[in-house]
Amino acid sequence: MTQERSDPPPPPAQPPVDLSWKANTIQWGTRAVVHKDGGLTLGALNTGAYGEIPDVWEDRTRMPRGAYSPPGRVGSPIGGYYLRHKSDLWADNAADLYEEGISRRWSSAESIPWESCRDLAPDVEMAICQVSTELSQQASIEVEIISGWLQMMAYGYHEVKLFLATENFDAGRHFEVFRKRAMVNGGGLGLESPGNVNRILLESFAGWSETSLLMHILRGTYTRTVYRYLSAYAPSPVEMLIGRRTAQDKSRHIAYAMQHAKYAINHVPGSDRNFSGGLAAAEAVVARDDDDSVMREAMACAFGGGVRQMDEGMKIVARLRRDYVRDYLKCLDWIGINRRPTLSPGFAAALDVKD
Amino acid sequence: MTDATDDPFATYKEYGRERGYDLRWLERRDVWGHQLESDDRKGGLQLQNVDSGVAAQVPDESRNMTGRTRGSIPRTGVARVGNYSVRTKADIWLQNGAELYEEAVARQWSSATDIPWHTIKPLPDDIERAECQLATFITEVEFVAGDVPGKWISKVTPDYYEPRMYLISQVMDEARHLDVFRKRALANGGGLMQRNGGVQSVVGGNIDSARDFTEMSARLHISGEGSVLTLFRMGELMSYNDAEKHIYRLCAQDESRHVAFGVMHLKYLGAIETDRREEIQSYLDEAERALVTGASGQNPAARGLPSNAALGVLLGGGDDKVDEGMKTLLAVRQRQVKEYVQRVRVAGFGERFENGRANPMLEAYLSVN
């Protein structure tokens, strides 16, 4: 390499090989079951000692749950990992949802028949582009939120971390599929989001449980409802398929959040009241975004079939909002939070819409 | 669609506004009339082929503080929620971020069903313990490349969504690696073995503590993941069944994208911000110290670690052949060094190997027969 150096020093001598680690395991003889159809799943690993999920995980390194740790302190904490109580993040379905997220993966590049959304009426095209712009931004915000919280989560609950990695990947896919939809026919990206709900999600710092509730249940049920309506009122097979795929992904995210919130309520007395109070404040913020005409009009145009059908389209949007609030309340009922007595006026009014 | 010079929405707007609708979203954009082609023979509608006009303008400095997606139309009155510390293109950019993301999407795999777990048969106890120790090490360190990029994703403005999308895919890959090696440890009558444990956090200088993205990427992608990639590529030598061969092959495929990201980012930054080249050389000084001493804690082949001894057992074929295995392991370490050198050359910093800047211990590894 160099011309002026003397002979290079020899490589460091290899220390004597130490095989003392061979005995260092908390449980030997483990053979996780490989299922015929599902293969070897993450959940199947939780057998014996490896399935003992503690209520508190003291370690603040990346030590795998179930690894042997020599007596005394081994290594130094590496910072972060403040969410160390099971009730901070656990959900019994996290491992299954992780595997489902992987098995149901899809590619926006190849799974969507992009050539079949051509030649829509110009007003419908622009409406779809505006709706897509909003949904793309929502997904981008979701990525920022999950990415920021992921490093806070202790390794004692790796199932949750791995599930959220799939959710992050899903959100990334939602970001780019809606960007592609906005650009594919030359409509282009529309107006940015009014951002009031985005803001409360990004600024939520009480805890992961609270952020999850806002992001997944308050916002997530809205997003899923829009996805479903996009599929149902799709002007082309492209929107139909995008709506269906994204709704399927979103259902997994909501399923995690429901299980987690229920776990938190069952294990942390009083958390249901805190959650309810937080949601009450957040519902008022949703109303501010709702007041914005852009998304409402765009959906009315897209789902109604054009500007000239927007009056009818507005009735569809009203039903969408009703279905959103119904879904939101249903999820909360399951979790064990009753928002009905103090539901925000806008939400309550949405329920009055008839078919 | 109509001629691009017309306002294709004039009659719609007139109709709608007469009925009290605002319709400010119904305006022609700069890309009006520009349709994108989706060709199944070329992988469909790829992200790198989507942007044009305003959407394709990647600013050298981002002023996007509302989290809007690049190319969308700003609104007044939106709160500045974007506390993005990475708002300079050179700090994060690379030429092929979108391509790497799309490749990652296309090459996703399932550890549950794509690994032929049934091909793992009982192994001699010393081999199984070595496999499990190595798997324990890897399952522990892999998700540093999940947590840390994740932290940085939330700090990067969406104006640079291409590298963000790549990092999102890396987090997904690393989740799968944590998962697959945990599965290997628990699939064949063994168990998890001894944890790793380091004290790097006391003085910083590690992947977690990096306060600059390029600093982090040099430690993670160039050094740490580079070493792991070399090992994965040599997985045939450590494998005792098809399942293990599949694991190493698929993980190597993922890891090569991660390393490519680091190389291409460094290449871009080094070319664009030449006044940062000396700074980057200092990161490479650190990376080389870690490479030759194993101080990073990311390299399973680093001397003194249980995983190092486990590799010796696997490469030799048993406890009684560990000395032979350690000779092969030295060859692995040499290859790690060689591939690191090649990587740094491709990144545009190869002069350090000519002008005496490189760590002299690298040469020691390379000159051993």
pLDDT (average), residues A282-310: 94
Residues 6+ apart with CB under 8 A from A283: A218, A339, A343, A344, A346, A347
Contact B22, A297 (CB under 8 A): yes
Question: In the 8-state DSSP scheme, what is residue B224?
Answer: I
Lowest mean pLDDT among B176-180, B213-217, B289-293: B289-293
Alpha carbon of B135: minimum distance to chain A alpha carbons (Å): 11
Give SS3 for A207. coil
- Chain B neighbors of A297, CB-CB under 8 A: 21-23, 25
CATH class of A86-350: mainly alpha
**Confidence tier at B82 by pLDDT (50, 70, 90):** confident
Instruction: Among A73-82, A143-152, B74-83, B355-364, name the one with the lowest average pLDDT.
Output: A73-82
Share of chain B above pLDDT 90, in %: 78
Whether the CA torsion B304, B305, B311, B317 is positive or negative: it is: positive
How much is the pLDDT for B210?
Answer: 87
Q: Residue A223: how many CA atoms within 13 Å on its side-chain side?
A: 35
Segment A183-239, tens digit of pLDDT: 999 999 999 999 999 999 999 998 999 999 999 999 999 999 999 999 999 999 999
**Chain-chain contact of A195 with B182 (C-beta, under 8 angstroms):** no
Scanning every residue of chain B, which has its alpha carbon at the shortest distance from the alpha carbon of A119?
B1
Q: For residue A11, what pLDDT band results from cuts at 50, 70 and 90? A: low
- pLDDT higher than 80, residue A75: no
> What integer pLDDT is reported at residue A4 of this predicted model?
46
Q: Are B67 and B82 in contact (CB under 8 A)?
A: yes
List, in order, residues 6 or more apart from A9 with CB less than 8 Å away.
B360, B361, B364
Tell if the CB–CB gap between B72 and A191 is shorter than 8 Å.
yes
CB distance from A198 to chain B under 8 Å? yes
Residue in chain B nearest A149 by alpha carbon: B151
Name, in order, each residue with C-beta under 8 angstroms of B285's C-beta and a sequence gap of 6 or more. B357, B359
Question: In this predicted structure, what is the pLDDT of residue A275?
Answer: 96
Q: Which residues of A touch B54 (CB under 8 A)?
A: 188-189
Q: Which two tokens stand for residue A226?
A: 């829009």
Counting Cβ atoms within 10 Å, is residue A58 exposed (0-12), middle (13-18) or buried (19+)? exposed
* B201, pLDDT greater than 70: no
Q: What was the pLDDT predicted at B206? A: 76
CA–CA dist B220, B229 (Å, integer) = 12
Smallest Cβ–Cβ distance between A9 and the set B206, B319, B361 belongs to B361
Asked if B307 and B137 touch (Cβ cutoff 8 Å), the reply is yes
Q: Do A198 and B81 touch (CB under 8 A)?
A: yes
The Cα of A177 is separated from the nearest Cα of chain B by a number of Å equal to 9
Report the percentage of chain A scoring pLDDT > 90: 86
A interface test, pick of B179, B241, B305 with most A CB neighbours within 10 Å: B179
pLDDT at B4: 47
- Separation between Cα atoms, residue B307 and residue A58, nearest integer Å: 24
Band of pLDDT at residue A94, cut at 50, 70 and 90 = very high
Asked whether the predicted pLDDT for residue A83 surpasses 80, the reply is yes
Answer yes or no: are the C-beta atoms of A137 and A165 closer than 8 Å: no
pLDDT value at position A3? 42
d(CA B102, CA B133): 34
Q: Is B76 left (phi over 0), alpha (psi -120 to 50) or beta?
A: beta
> CB of A193 within 8 Å of any CB in chain B?
yes
- For residues A132 and B125, what is the distance between their CA atoms, to the nearest angstrom? 56
For residues B173-190, average pLDDT: 97
Under a CB-based contact definition with an 8 Å cutoff, are residues B226 and B339 in contact?
Answer: yes
Confidence (pLDDT) at B369: 54
Residue B20 has a pLDDT of: 95
Choose the weakest-confidence range: A85-89, B40-44, B99-103, B253-257.
Answer: B40-44
Q: How far apart are CA B134 and CA A52, in angstroms?
A: 23
Contact A169 B172 (CB under 8 A): yes
pLDDT at residue number A332: 98
Q: Scanning the structure block, which residue is given the tokens 């549950």?
A: B112
- pLDDT of A129-147, one tens digit each? 999 999 999 999 999 999 9
Confidence of residue A301 (pLDDT cuts 50, 70, 90): very high
Closest partner residue to B194 (CB to CB) among A67, A175, A196 is A67
- C-beta atoms of A21 and B29 within 8 A: no
Angle between helices B97-106 and A158-184 (to 10 degrees): 120
pLDDT for the residue numbered B5:
55
Model pLDDT, residue B343: 96
C-alpha distances out from residue B229 to A21, B35, B336, Å = 25, 40, 8
Convert the pLDDT of each residue in A154-179 to its tens digit: 999 999 999 999 999 999 999 999 99
Q: What is the mean pLDDT of chain B?
A: 92
Task: Identify the pLDDT of residue B83.
Answer: 82
Domains annotated for chain B, with CATH where assigned, are: 1-28 (no CATH), 89-367 (1.10.620.20)
Higher pLDDT, B233 or B6: B233
Instruction: Tell me the DSSP string of A190-244.
Output: -BPP--HHHHHHHH--S-HHHHHIIIIIIIHHHHHHHHHHHHHT-SSHHHHHHHH
Q: Which residues of A touch B27 (CB under 8 A)?
A: 126
- pLDDT reading at B203 higher than 70: no
Element (H, E) at B357: none
* Best mutation target, B17, B37, B168, to test chain A (most A CBs within 10 A): B168
Question: Please, which pLDDT band fits residue B202 given cuts at 50, 70 and 90?
Answer: low
Burial class (CB in 10 A: 0-12, 13-18, 19+), B320: exposed
pLDDT, tens digit, 9 for 90 and up, residues B121-161: 999 999 999 999 999 999 998 888 889 899 999 999 999 99
Q: Closest-CA residue in chain A for B130?
A: A22
Is pLDDT of B365 > 90? no
Q: Are A290 and A116 in contact (CB under 8 A)?
A: no
Facing A109 at nearest CB: one of B44, B310, B366: B44
Question: Confidence class of residue B2 from pLDDT cuts 50, 70 and 90?
Answer: very low
Q: Which of B55, B199, B304 sits opposite A183 (nearest CB)?
A: B55
Determine which of B15, B28, B68 to mutate to test the interface with A (most A C-beta atoms within 10 Å). B68
Query: What CA–CA distance (Å, rounded) separates B235 from B27?
Result: 56
Query: CB–CB of B368/B335 below 8 Å?
Result: no
Give residue B296's pLDDT band: very low, low, confident or very high (50, 70, 90). Answer: low
Contact A201, A279 (CB under 8 A): no
| Chain B residues with beta carbon closer than 8 angstroms to that of A187 | 29, 31-32
CB pairs under 8 A between A and B: 421
Angle ∠(B273,B274,B279) on CA atoms, nearest 5: 95
Window 8-47 of A: residues touching B by CB (8 A cutoff) are 8-12, 14-15, 17-19, 21-22, 24-32, 34, 38-42, 45, 47
Q: What is the CA radius of gyration of chain A?
A: 25
- On chain B, the residues whose CB falls within 8 A of the CB of A108 are 45, 105
3-state secondary structure of B30: coil
Tell me how close the Cα of B35 comes to any Cα of chain A, in angstroms.
4
* One-letter amino acid for residue B195 of the chain: R
CB contact under 8 A, B172 and A165: yes
Q: What is the pLDDT of residue B1?
A: 45
Instruction: Give percent above pLDDT 70 in chain B.
Output: 95
At residue A80, does pLDDT exceed 90?
no
- Determine the distance in angstroms separating the CA of A325 from the nearest CA of chain B, rounded to an integer: 25
| pLDDT the model gives residue B136 | 96
Task: Write down the pLDDT at residue B73.
Answer: 97
Residue A112 half-sphere exposure toward CB, CA atoms < 13 A = 28
pLDDT on residue A223:
98
Residue holding tokens 């959304």? A117
Give the closest residue to A304 by CA, choosing from B73, B10, B4, B15.
B15
How far is residue A334's CA from residue A322's CA, in Å, rounded to a whole number? 18
Instruction: Give pLDDT tens digits for A105-118.
Output: 999 999 999 999 99
Q: Tokens 């909003």 identify what position?
A: A134
Report the candidate in A325, A298, A326, A301 with the shortest Cα–Cα distance to residue A311: A301
ipTM value, please give it. 0.95
Contact B102, B48 (CB under 8 A): yes
